[in-house]
Amino acid sequence: MTDIKAVALNEKVVFRCQLCGECCRHVSDCIMLSPMDAYRLARRLREQGEPVSGTEDVLAQYAHASWLADNFPIYLLNTVGTPNACVFLKDGRCSVYEARPQVCRMYPFSAAPGERGRDFRYFLCMEKPHHFTGGMVTVKHWLSENFTREAKDGMKADYDAIPILGEKVRAMSTEEFQHLLFQFLYYRYYNYELDQPFLPQFLSNLEQLKKLTGGVDDRC
């Protein structure tokens, strides 16, 4: 069995969550937090009474900085203990379930940039074989519940912007990018008011990132 395969929206998949928490363990340096994830977590933790005033508090306490290829900065969720369990796994359950990261919401499916006019391609993640017994789910139905319009719009905007930003970052010297790093992280991850809708802020921040890096789309 391969770990991942492409699926169509109308496809039916044998899958049932076993409530075992295994997909929350052995995830060291695996769960990348998007800006939307950080925003959702900050709002949820604040509701739970945690001393959280913004996304910066979540990222400082529950995540760590890392890099994609070509020096693109990201944040990865922290893990704890010998099984490298997600920091939010408590007593075998997700303590922030309503605000869990998008990758967790979509599991066992994932999305990638689309082709031939489609916004996304979808894949089935099969690294936990014991989940693929019992019930039956339709890809489209699963995604309708776990991949909201706001999440789709945010992910699509990100997919469109990251190649442009990455190209500009690669063209910078190390010194140039280090000089811009704080501002880059600020507009990507930190510049959010928790009492305001996420998506308009995110789209505005993407435009600021493009200006910051000189990242107008030269390919047009």
Between the alpha carbon of residue 206 and those of residues 83, 131, 132, the distances in Å are 36, 37, 38
Residue-wise pLDDT for 94-124, tens only, equals 999 999 999 999 999 999 999 888 999 999 9
pTM for the full predicted model: 0.91
From 81, 94, 120, select the one nearest 40 (Cα to Cα): 94
From 170, 24, 163, 175, select the one nearest 103 (Cα to Cα): 24
* 46 pLDDT higher than 60: yes
End-to-end CA distance of the chain: 41
DSSP 126: -
Quickly state the pLDDT bin for 90 (edges 50, 70, 90): very high
What letters, b where the CB count within 10 A reaches 16 and e where it falls short, cover 171-196?
Answer: eeeeeebeeeeeebbebbbebbeeee
DSSP 34: P
Quickly state the pLDDT bin for 209 (edges 50, 70, 90): very high
Contact 32, 103 (CB under 8 A): yes
Read off the pLDDT of each residue in 83-88 and give the average, rounded to a whole number. Answer: 96
Residue 216: what pLDDT?
Answer: 52
What does pLDDT average to over the chain? 91
Residue 99: what pLDDT?
Answer: 97
Distance, in Å, from the CA atom of 184 to the CA atom of 212, rounded to the nearest integer, reads 8
Contact 125, 4 (CB under 8 A): yes
